[in-house]
A and B are shown apart, each in its own frame.
Chain A
Amino acid sequence: MTDSSAQTKKWSLVIAVLLLSIGMGIAVFVYRSTTQIREALAEEILEQQHDVATLMHEYSNVMVSLERSRLNPTQESKQTIESALRSAQEQLVVMRSNYSFARLEGAAEAHAYIKPILEDIGDWTRHGVAGYSNTNPLVLQIAANRMGERYDVIREIAVGTELVAEELISEQTDFLENFRDWLLLLLAGFAMLSLTIAALLIRQRNLQAQLAIDQEFTATRLIDAETRGRHQAEVALLGSEQFLRATLNSLPSDIAILDQQGIISAVNAPWKKFASSNDSKYKEGGIGYHYEQVFRSTAMNEVERKGIDAATKQVVEVLSNKRDSMFFEYPCHRKDKRQWSVVSMSTFNTGDGRHAVLVHEDVSERKQLEERDRRLRAELAHVSRLTTAGELASGLAHELNQPLTAITHNCDAVMSSVKSDSQFDAEMLETVQDISEQAQRAGGIIRSMRHLVRKDTTDMAPTDINKLVKDTVRLTAPEAREKGVQVMLDLDDSLPQPLIDPVQIQQVLVNLERNGVEAMWQANSPTKELTIETCFSGADRLQVAIKDTGPGVEPSFADNLFSAFQTTKADGMGLGLSISRNIVEDHGGRLWIDSDTEGVTIFKFTIPFKQG
C-alpha cells in the first residue's frame, strides 16, 4: 500500500511539472506571436494609411482637374478628370481587394457618385466646346455651379475615406489588443489549470498519505477497542456473575447448580444454610459433593427419606437427559411441624456440557393454607350433607306424615262408627285400633330418624357476617371461575356481629351463591355477575342480598320455590332453598326472593342481631 502511494506521488509530480512547462511554453509562444502580429499589423496599418492617402490624393486630383475644367472646360481638362478618376477608381479597387472591411463600401459609394459627374463633365465639355465657341456665359455658369455641387460631394467622400481609414486603424488596434488580452487570459487560464492540477495532485498525495496514516491509526484503534471490549466483557461477565449470585442469594428457595454427574458446582445462600444445618461438612453448601449425598443428609425420618428417594430418581432422569425438567412435591414433617418441600429442576447447556439448576422450596405455608381450605370445605360439605340428610328426612317426614295423619283420622272415623253400633264387632275395633297405632309408630320412627340426622346442637357465636361472606366466596371461587361467573362484594363494614351458627349461615350463603352461579351457567347468560351485598334492615337486623344476572325464576315455580324436593336442576334434590329457609328461620330471620328488578334475581335474607 505504501509502495503504490509513493509511485502515485512520483507520477503526479511529473505530470504537474510537465503541465507547468507546457503552459510556460504556450505563454512564451503566445507572447512572441502577439509581438509579431503586432508588428505585422502596424505595417499593415501603415500600408492602409498609405492606400487611404493615395485614394485621397487621387480624389484630390479629380477635384483639382474638375476645378481646372470649370475654369477652362476643354477637351484636355476633361481627359485629365477622367484619368484622375480612373486612378482613384483603380486605387479603390485595389483597396477593396486588399481589405474586406465594411467601411470601404463608403469609398465604393463615393466612386459610384463620381461616375455620373464624369458623364456630366463629358457632356459639358462636349457642349462647352461647342458652347465656348458661342461664348455663352450662362451655360458656363450653370456648368460651374453643378461642378461645385459635385466637388463638395467628392470632398465629403474624401473626408469619409479618411474617417474610414481611421476607423480601420482603430479597429485593427482594438482587435490586436483584444487578441492580446484573450491570449493573456488563456495563459492565465492555463496557469490556473496547471496550478489546480498541481494542487489537486498534491492534495491527492496528501490524502493518500493521510489515508495511510488513518489506516494505521484505525488499526491501532481496532486493537485498542478489542482490548477495551475484552475488558468490558470481563467486567460485564463479572457484573452478571455478581448479579446472578445476588439474585440467587435473594431468592428464598434453596438453589444449587449441578454438573452432569450431579456434583454441586455452585449454591446460593439459602442452600448453604440448608445443607450446613444438616451436616457441618457441607458448610460451604456441599460444593464438590454429589447432590444426593447432601440431599439425603437432610432426611429426618422415614417419610422424608421416601420422598427424597422419589425425588432423586427424577433428578437422575433429568441429568441423564431422559427428561428436560422435573417438579416433585414431598412431605418432610418434623415432630413439631407439618412441612412440605418441592424439588424442581431445569437444565441448561454450556460449552462443557449439561448443567442443572436444582431448587428446593419450602411450600409448607401454602400447603397448610390448602389443607385449611380443604378442611373447611370438607366441614362445609359434611354439614351440607348432614343438613341435606336432615332436610331429606324432614321432607320425607312431611310427605309420609301426611298420609299417616290421614290414616290415623280415617281409623278414628271407622272406630267412631263401629263404637256407635251397639252390636259392634270388638275384633274389628281392635284391628282398626292396631292400624292407627302402627301409623303412630311409623310416625315415631320417622321422627327419631329425623332427630338422628338433625344437627340439633348449634354452635352460636358472634360472627362477622362480612368475613363469613368473604370466606364463602373464597371457598366457592373455583366453581365460580370454572363457570365463568364474576363474584362481586358490596359489604357494609359498620354491621354489628349477630349471634349465629357460622357454619349453618355459611351453608345458606353457599346454597344461594351456587344457585345463582349454576342458573347463569345453565342459561349461558350474556353477563354472569353475582353480587353479594350486606346492609342493615332496620336497626335490629342485617340483610344479605345475593343478586345474579341469570334468567330469573319462572313464575309457575316461584310459589313452591322454597318447598322441599322442588328443583329445576337435573341432578338436584330440591333441598337447597328449603334448607336455607329453615336455617334462616331457625335464626329468627326471613328468606325470600325478590325479582322485581329487571333481569335480576335477588335472594334476600335477614338475621336479627339479637335473638330473644
Chain B
Amino acid sequence: MDDAEKIVHVVDDDESVRTALTRSLEKRGYSVHCYESGDSFLQSYEAGHAGCLVLDVRMPGMSGLEVQEKLVEQHPALPIIFVTGHGDIPMSVRAMKNGAFEFLEKPYSVDSLQTHIEQAIAKSHVLMQELEHSTRINHRFAKLTARELDVMKLLVAGIANNSNKEIARELDISHRTVDDHRARIMSKMQARSLAELVEMSKICGIHEP
C-alpha cells in the first residue's frame, strides 16, 4: 500500500450494502475494506495508514457509537463518517460531540459520500503526521535521564526566569552542570530553540501553562 492509496473501511451488518458500497467506491478509486460488525473491525484493524471509516450506527451487538468510543482511544487518526438509516437527531449530536467527522442519512448520494470521504482522508493524513510527530517526540523524550527531565521541566515551566542559575539553585546543583544538562536535552530532543522545546513539552504532556 503506498501513500497514494485511499483506504476506506466500511462497517455495515447488511451484506448487500457492503457489496454495493465496495463496488461503487472501488470504481471511484478507493481501496475498500469491509467488516460485518464493529467487533470484527476492531479486532482486525491495524493503524499506520491514512484512511477513513464509514460506520453504520445501528447494528446488532456493538453499535456504531460504541465502536466510536473504543476507536477514539485506540486509533484517534481514523476519521469516522457515520451512516444511518434512522437519522436520529440526538444520536447524531452525540456522535458529532464524540468527534465524528460526518453523519449521513441513508440513502445518501454517492457524490456527497465521496466528498466527505475525500475530506476525511485528507484529515487522516494530517492526523497521521501529527501522530507520527508526537510519537517521534515521545520516543526522544523517553531517552532523557531523570535529572535531565527535572531540568527540562524547569526550563519549560517559565520562560521569563529560566536562567541556568535559578535552575541550579532550585535543584541545588552547580550552574555548570545545568549548562551540560541543557545542552544534552536540546540535543536529545533535537530542538533548535527553547520555543521548539516548549512545543515538544506540550506533546509530551509535561508543560503546565
Contacts and interface: CB of A to CB of B under 8 A. Distances in A.
Taking each of B16, B61, B85, B94, which has the highest tally of chain A beta carbons within 10 Å of its own beta carbon? B85
Interface residues of A, number: 36
A455 interface: no
A581 to B, nearest CB: 10
A413 B61 CA distance: 30
Contacts of B19: 406
A408 B109 contact: yes
Contact of B90 (A397, A404, A410, A585): A585
Interface in A546-604: 559-560, 563, 582, 585-586, 588
A30 B100 CA distance: 151
A420 B85 CA distance: 31
B106 to A, nearest CB: 4
A456 B90 CA distance: 11
Contacts of B109: 408, 436, 440
Nearest to A441: B107
B27 A413 contact: yes
Interface string B86-104: 1111110010000000000
A407 interface: yes
Given A406-B19, A407-B107, A398 B86 contact: yes
A48 B197 CA distance: 179
B174 to A, nearest CB: 51
B88 A409 contact: no
B107 A413 contact: no
Nearest to B27: A416
Contact of A398 (B21, B25, B58): B58
A417 interface: yes
B4 interface: no
Contacts of B85: 397-402, 405
Contacts, number: 98
A417 B20 CA distance: 13
A439 B17 CA distance: 14
A447 interface: yes
A413 B60 contact: no
Interface centre among A407, A410, A417, A440 (most CB of B within 10 A): A410
A459 to B, nearest CB: 15
A67 interface: no
A394 interface: yes
A417 B24 CA distance: 9
A586 B91 CA distance: 7
Contacts of A586: 88, 90-91
A443 B24 contact: no
A612 to B, nearest CB: 10
Given A397-B85, A405-B17, A439 B107 contact: yes
Given A405-B17, A406-B17, A408-B108, A560 B60 contact: yes
Contacts of B87: 397, 447, 450
A424 to B, nearest CB: 13
Contact of A416 (B28, B60, B84, B107): B28
Nearest to B58: A398
A51 interface: no
15 contacts: A397-B87, A398-B84, A402-B17, A402-B106, A403-B16, A406-B16, A406-B20, A408-B20, A410-B20, A412-B23, A412-B27, A436-B110, A447-B87, A456-B89, A585-B88
Closest 4 CB pairs between A and B?
Answer: A416-B27, A401-B85, A409-B20, A398-B85
